[in-house]
Amino acid sequence: MNHIKKFESMRQGKIDIAKVDFSGGGDGVYALYIDGKIHTYGDEYHNDINAWIRGFIDGLEWIGADIDYKTLYCKDNDIIYNIVDMAEEPPSQLSDLDGKLSEKSGW
């Protein structure tokens, strides 16, 4: 609820939100970026991350926030391997993934 109150009291204008899928078509890691900066990440098994992200989006919609929400897919196998198999954190800035994302699943 603190996140929603933060947006409710501080934000004006459109909020760009992107869920980035680092799964490579299998079990994997998903990250939520707000205005290009990572907010949270996790996997389905340990974090139920897709439900968390959906709840976050639902909360923003419920308060009437003006959001632009999209799902992006990482298409760089090295990045996917490092994040999913080697437990590295996703990049902190969405811009660090320029040219390595697609709006459509490639699997």
Task: Provide block-wise average pLDDT over 10 residues at a time, the chain (107 residues).
Answer: 59 89 89 98 94 96 94 96 95 97 80
The pTM of the full predicted model, rounded to 2 decimals, is 0.87
The per-residue pLDDT for 86 is 94
CA distances (Å), 62 to each of 8, 52, 57, in order?
11, 15, 8
What are 92-101's pLDDT values in tens digits? 999 999 999 9
Strands of the chain (E only): list them.
Answer: 15-21, 29-34, 37-43, 67-74, 101-102
Secondary structure letter of residue 100 according to DSSP? S
